[in-house]
Amino acid sequence: MIFVATGTQFPFNRLIQYMDDWAKENNEDVFAQIGDGEYEPKNMQWQRFIGLDEYNDKIQQASVFISHAGMGNIISAKEQGTPIIVINRQAKLGEHRNDHQAEGLKWMGKLAGVYTASTQDELYQQIAKRDDLVIASGDSEDNLITLVDHIDSFLTDWHK
């Protein structure tokens, strides 16, 4: 199963159309979370929003997770041990307020387990390679612990 998600803040009709077209041509289950998007898929299962537990289950069950280039989904993919392909929203198509997701692709692609696409062709090429995609190792929490300890030092000081 391939899981597709647009995130909660904006619709991402273009991604949903790409994946609906892909699902028509390929013999694999695809499940999409489409948000408030107007385009309703015909060739894949879909739901507008999904509770967090079920959402994480879907990511875990998926062979690959296809998402807008949002940090939340990258973190969730790492937590669930599923490779993720991200495609950026484009401000000029009304898909986001600005183009930070296009800038984001450059460094996201350097993260383990994260693959990027900015066009339909690139997306399909990445999906075609899905069995070879590497999973991010979720073992290193060093950076998170450093951040939390830093925050905790302020709380401990203030909450005396």
Length of the chain: 160
Give the residue with the Cβ less far from another protein, 9 or 120. 9
User: In whole angstroms, how close is the CB of 115 to another protein at the nearest point?
Assistant: 16
User: In whole angstroms, how close is the CB of 35 to another protein at the nearest point?
Assistant: 10
**Interface residues with another protein (CB under 8 A)?**
7-9, 49-53, 55, 70-76, 78, 97, 100, 103-104, 107, 111, 142-152, 154-156, 158-159
Give the residue with the Cβ less far from another protein, 1 or 144. 144
Pair of tokens at residue 41: 């898929």
- Write the CB contacts of 56 (distance below 8 Å, at least 6 apart in sequence): 76, 79, 80
φ and ψ of 40, to 5 deg: -105, 120
User: In whole angstroms, how close is the CB of 61 to another protein at the nearest point?
Assistant: 17
User: In whole angstroms, how close is the CB of 70 to another protein at the nearest point?
Assistant: 5
Q: At what angle do helices 71-80 and 52-61 cross, to 10 degrees?
A: 60
Give the residue with the Cβ less far from another protein, 58 or 78. 78
User: In whole angstroms, how close is the CB of 127 to another protein at the nearest point?
Assistant: 23
Give the residue with the Cβ less far from another protein, 1 or 71. 71
- Write the CB contacts of 38 (distance below 8 Å, at least 6 apart in sequence): 11, 13
Give the residue with the Cβ less far from another protein, 92 or 159. 159
